């Protein structure tokens, strides 16, 4: 090998390492690597990670090379005689000063990034994220889209989870209502939770923050690229911890304005009037959806429940007795949660649905009855 080509190789390797420190340039997608960074802060986190890894690798190689070389070179069979000096001020100064310098080199840029991560001032958009067992609630508090509010739940079909169907590429990372945000806008995320501690984690934005009941934490991101980014709850929060993914759609300013307009229309249509008298067919259709989304995990799609754990609603005396049913749905009982978070229309619909399914036939409940019972 000529000296020139050896030089070329060394230069190529060095360039690769340096661009690794540069971050995004080498942001290869690999199951072993961090997610490709999509915000400025995420880029910094990515570069920091590469830099620290490089420093650790160099230290590792240097320390172990010296160690193994010494063991080999000064082995007993070669007649090595152990030195017997104690204390060497020079060595001690060196091994204090060098690590101190290394720590400074690592801590200074890391501190800058952490401070930048915490600076949630001057956001264009403020969104409150609430963790629930086991879904996310999004409320647009300030900025374009203010007032929009929805729940975001796992959309992966049960058949895939139970291995009855092939799993999709976004298996367990897909939701019914993704969070939608505009590109290049500073989004402040305020986090809290309604039951246990959850954590909102989107790797591409380098955002990971605990959502704690009774506390409000905040964090921010400004996405550089349009696209769909996925994350998960990152705090073990109960049996369906693995089933509350996060999907963020980053869209252009125009698409965002369009989405806001659509959501507004949808919300206006959904803002049911609880005073209105609903027809049996409307209540049943709406009730089937409410039941599917909220009740069937325990009481089963068949209404038969799980003997010994969840009572059957088919043939239930409580379902047949309207006042008792209303009170139970609003207040809960033992392991049966309170559903007062649902609207009067949703409650009346699901009550009517359970009263008229699986062989039950016990009449309708109107939203006005729930409205009256809430007082």
**Rule CB under 6 A: which residues touch ligand HEC?**
294-295, 297-299, 310-311, 313, 316-319, 325, 328-329, 333-337, 339, 350, 354
Nearer to Cu ion, 37 or 131 (CB): 131
Nearer to Cu ion, 198 or 222 (CB): 198
193 binds Cu ion (CB under 5 A): no
Name residues whose C-beta falls within 8 Å of residue 110's C-beta, 6 or more positions apart in sequence: 48
Q: In angstroms, rounded to a whole number, what is the distance separating the alpha carbons of residues 25 and 48?
A: 14
Phi then psi for residue 158, to 5 deg, are -55, -35
Length of the chain: 375
Nearest by Cα to 175 from 191, 156, 158, 189:
156
Nearer to Cu ion, 223 or 237 (CB): 237
| Beta carbon of residue 134, minimum distance to Cu ion (angstroms, whole number) | 6
| Beta carbon of residue 246, minimum distance to Cu ion (angstroms, whole number) | 10
Q: Are the C-beta atoms of 136 and 246 separated by less than 8 Å?
A: yes
* DSSP states along 300-353: -TTS--BTTTB--STT-HHHHSHHHHHHHHHH-BTTB---TTS-HHHHHHHHHH
User: Of the ranges 51-59, 233-241, 298-306, 328-336, which one interacts with Cu ion (CB under 5 A)?
Assistant: 233-241
Q: In angstroms, rounded to a whole number, what is the distance separating the alpha carbons of residues 316 and 63?
A: 72
Structure tokens at 101: 């310098």
Residue 358's binding partner among Cu ion, ligand HEC, none (Cβ under 5 to 8 angstroms by kind) is none
Nearer to ligand HEC, 212 or 336 (CB): 336
Nearer to ligand HEC, 173 or 327 (CB): 327
What angle (nearest 5°) sits at the alpha carbon of residue 313, between those of residues 311 and 314? 120
Nearer to ligand HEC, 101 or 297 (CB): 297
| Beta carbon of residue 128, minimum distance to Cu ion (angstroms, whole number) | 16
User: Of the ranges 44-52, 195-203, 216-224, 263-271, which one interacts with Cu ion (CB under 5 A)?
Assistant: 195-203
Residue 318's binding partner among Cu ion, ligand HEC, none (Cβ under 5 to 8 angstroms by kind) is ligand HEC
Q: How many helices (H) and strands (E) does the chain have?
A: 11, 10
Residue 233's binding partner among ligand HEC, Cu ion, none (Cβ under 5 to 8 angstroms by kind) is Cu ion
Phi then psi for residue 23, to 5 deg, are 95, -110
Nearer to ligand HEC, 259 or 339 (CB): 339
Residue 137's binding partner among ligand HEC, Cu ion, none (Cβ under 5 to 8 angstroms by kind) is none
Nearest by Cα to 56 from 23, 105, 114, 2:
105
Residues 116, 252, 124, 134, CA torsion sign: negative
Residue 237's binding partner among Cu ion, ligand HEC, none (Cβ under 5 to 8 angstroms by kind) is Cu ion
Matching residue, tokens 């005689």: 81
198 binds Cu ion (CB under 5 A): yes
Nearer to ligand HEC, 193 or 295 (CB): 295
| Beta carbon of residue 177, minimum distance to ligand HEC (angstroms, whole number) | 19
237 binds Cu ion (CB under 5 A): yes
Q: Which of 181, 233, 283, 290 binds Cu ion (CB under 5 A)?
A: 233
Q: Residues in contact with Cu ion, total (CB under 5 A)?
A: 3
Q: In angstroms, rounded to a whole number, what is the distance separating the alpha carbons of residues 247 and 34?
A: 18
| Beta carbon of residue 31, minimum distance to ligand HEC (angstroms, whole number) | 35
What are the residues binding Cu ion (CB under 5 A)? 198, 233, 237
């Amino acid at each position: 090998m000529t000296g020139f080509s050896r030089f070329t190789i060394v230069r190529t390797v060095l360039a690769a390492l340096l661009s690794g420190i540069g971050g995004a340039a080498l942001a290869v997608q690999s199951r072993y690597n961090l997610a490709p960074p999509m915000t400025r802060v995420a880029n910094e986190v990515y570069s920091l990670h590469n830099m620290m890894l490089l420093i650790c690798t160099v230290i590792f190689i240097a320390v172990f090379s010296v160690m193994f070389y010494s063991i080999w070179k000064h082995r007993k069979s070669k007649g090595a005689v152990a030195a017997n000096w104690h204390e060497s001020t020079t060595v001690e100064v060196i091994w204090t000063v060098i690590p101190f310098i290394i720590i400074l080199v690592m801590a200074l840029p890391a501190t800058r990034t952490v401070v930048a991560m915490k600076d949630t001032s001057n956001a264009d958009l403020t969104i409150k994220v609430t963790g629930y067992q086991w879904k996310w609630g999004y409320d647009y508090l300030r900025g374009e889209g203010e007032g929009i509010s929805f729940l975001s739940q796992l959309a992966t079909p049960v058949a895939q989870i139970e291995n009855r169907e092939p799993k999709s590429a976004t298996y367990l990372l897909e939701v019914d209502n993704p969070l939608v945000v505009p590109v290049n806008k500073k989004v402040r995320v305020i986090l809290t939770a309604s039951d246990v501690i959850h954590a909102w984690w989107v790797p591409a934005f380098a955002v990971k923050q605990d959502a704690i009941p009774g506390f409000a934490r905040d964090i921010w991101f400004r996405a550089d690229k349009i696209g769909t980014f996925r994350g998960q709850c990152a705090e073990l929060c109960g049996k369906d911890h693995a089933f509350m993914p996060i999907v963020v759609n980053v869209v252009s300013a125009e698409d965002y304005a369009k989405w806001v307009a659509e959501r507004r229309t949808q919300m206006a249509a959904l803002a049911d009037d609880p005073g209105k008298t609903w027809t049996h067919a409307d209540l049943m259709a709406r009730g089937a959806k409410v039941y599917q989304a909220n009740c069937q995990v325990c009481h089963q799609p068949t209404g038969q429940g799980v003997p010994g754990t969840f009572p059957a609603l088919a043939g239930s005396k409580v379902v047949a007795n309207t006042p008792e049913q209303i009170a139970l749905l609003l207040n809960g009982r033992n392991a049966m949660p309170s559903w007062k978070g649902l609207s009067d229309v949703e409650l009346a619909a699901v009550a009517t649905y359970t009263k008229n399914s699986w062989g039950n036939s016990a009449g309708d409940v109107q939203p006005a009855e729930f409205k009256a019972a809430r007082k």
